[in-house]
Amino acid sequence: MTEETKATIDEAAAGNGSVEFSDIAAEKVREFLAGHEQAQGKPLRIYVQGGPAGYDYGFTFEDKREDDNVIPQEGFDLVVDGYSLDLLAGSTVDFEETLTGGGFVVNNPNVPDPMSDPLYARVKGLIDDQINPGLGMHGGFVTLLDVKEGTVYVKLGGGCQGCGMVDVTLKQGIERLLKEEIPEIDRVLDTTDHAAGENPYYQQ
């Protein structure tokens, strides 16, 4: 592939608006570049990787690869591999401030609806109808992230986050009920950061 042909492909990718950073997200990237000499002169890469919550996204500053698509942003170049570009087409990247400093949020219209999976829908229905009402009486709740190969990925919140009895709740409550009602389920995996909870009984 000649450099001229490659440049034409890059320009086409840039012109279709495949991935666009919001003003605040672009500003955060420029701020990072200004303060980190090792990243200066390198494009920002965004890529899609698998994860229990569906599409996960990675960001890193690194040199452009031969088959990357280059999508110029305001003040920096974005590079995306072909696989990720197909999954990110039409996406926008924003930045949301949080108590811990904030981070990038990808608004991706291509993320599949998990409810189209019958097993996911059954687990979600059981959590919504039977598990969360009981947890809610104690100020807690569970959020279903994904169901994959017999494993249910969940995140606990409210009074359940950081609770000293979380293992009992997970194994004797949530997991037991799910496995009894849905034989396809082998285990429940808790992805919660319990050290960040507000419950005073949690000991790190």
Domain end call among 48, 82, 107: 107
What is the domain count for the chain?
Answer: 2
| One domain, residues 50 and 130 | no
- 14 near 73, Cβ under 8 Å? no
Residue 202 inside a domain? The answer is no
187 - beta bridge partners? 151
CATH number of residue 26's parent domain: 2.60.300.12
CATH code, domain with 160: 3.30.300.130
pTM: 0.57
For residue 86, what are the domain limits? 3-107
Supply 43's token pair. Answer: 């494009």
Which of 66, 90, 107 is the last residue in one of the domains? 107
Q: What is the pLDDT along the chain (204 residues), one digit of tens a residue?
A: 344 434 433 443 444 548 999 999 999 999 999 999 999 999 999 998 755 456 788 999 999 999 999 999 999 999 999 989 988 999 999 999 877 678 999 999 988 777 888 899 999 999 999 888 888 887 888 888 888 889 988 887 776 555 555 565 667 688 889 999 999 999 988 877 555 544 433 332
Please indicate, yes or no, whether residues 18 and 64 belong to a single structural domain of this protein: yes
| Best CA proximity match to 85, nearest among 24, 12, 27, 33 | 12
